[in-house]
Amino acid sequence: MKIYNKKFIYLISPNKIENESFYNSLNLVLRSKKVKFFQLRLKKGSIKKKVTIAKKILKICKKNKVKFIINDNPNLALKVNAHGCHLGQKDINILEAKKILKNKIIGVTCHNSIKLARNALLNGADYIALGAFYKTKTKKVIHKADVKTLKKIKKSINLPIVAIGGVNEKNYKKLLLNKADFLAISGYIWNNKKFKPHKAINNFV
């Protein structure tokens, strides 16, 4: 019997979206019904291009009943009417973001820090992200987290926790069994040399 949420994946976009085939691929992945959130994480490119991409993705997310989150930029999230925004520690602070987004979802990266997690809770975050738990090629790992940290923060912070960093089909159950609510996954889906995205997502059961 499963002891975790059916929709436990917090899917993050690839770093670049330049091919129209991506949208069909995304639709197939979301049809798996394992994804609760999809985050658009594009560090480069014009706002105009990001708006165009975001609007296409929002339609696919709504069709599949997935919450669409924009990384870093509350103004972009508001502009495209996304469901919310995810903030890093170096982005606009959550109180300013809430002024822009009102009642939309706001998540905050808290690395491996109980202090940052408590601040996020006090400032009204809807969820926090912890990690990196494992090695990852998606982004440079500066802060490492472990299961002990996860359990400690889960015990003291009453917010959903997204575990990030190197999550794959071999290690994901350990995180869920130790009370992670959602698993952030990117590279395993979009850069998998063995499985196409819609096949890779089905390795999480």
In tens, the pLDDT along 9-36 reads 999 999 999 999 999 999 999 999 999 9
How would residue 144 be classed by pLDDT, with cut points 50, 70 and 90? confident
Tell me which amino acid residue 101 is.
Answer: L
Nearest to 192 by CA among 204, 180, 182: 204
Asked, for residue 3, whether it belongs to a domain, the answer is no
**For position 113, what pLDDT does the model report?**
95
Distance CA 126, CA 157 (A): 12
Strand, helix or coil at 36? strand
Distance CA 36, CA 93 (A): 24
Asked, for residue 56, whether it belongs to a domain, the answer is yes
How would residue 143 be classed by pLDDT, with cut points 50, 70 and 90? confident
**For position 4, what pLDDT does the model report?**
59
User: Greater confidence, 6 or 11?
Assistant: 11
Angular region, 77: left φ>0, alpha ψ -120 to 50, beta rest: alpha
Distance CA 35, CA 52 (A): 22
In this prediction, residues 29-54 reach a mean pLDDT of 96
Give just the sign of the alpha carbon dihedral 188, 194, 198, 203. Answer: negative
Distance CA 101, CA 15 (A): 24
Q: Is 66 exposed, middle or buried (0-12, 13-18, 19+ CB in 10 A)?
A: buried
What's the CATH number where 44 sits?
A: 3.20.20.70
For residues 164 and 131, the answer to whether their CB atoms sit within 8 Å is yes
Interval 50-63: pLDDT, tens: 999 999 999 999 99
What's the token pair of residue 66? 């997935």
Taking residue 31's Cβ as centre, other Cβ atoms within 10 Å add up to 14
How would residue 135 be classed by pLDDT, with cut points 50, 70 and 90? confident
Asked, for residue 4, whether it belongs to a domain, the answer is no
How would residue 1 be classed by pLDDT, with cut points 50, 70 and 90? very low
**For position 141, what pLDDT does the model report?**
57
Per the structure, the complete domain to which residue 75 belongs is given by 9-203
Res 138 pLDDT > 70: no
Distance CA 30, CA 156 (A): 32
What's the token pair of residue 51? 């708006």
Asked, for residue 2, whether it belongs to a domain, the answer is no
Domain count, the chain: 1
Asked, for residue 1, whether it belongs to a domain, the answer is no
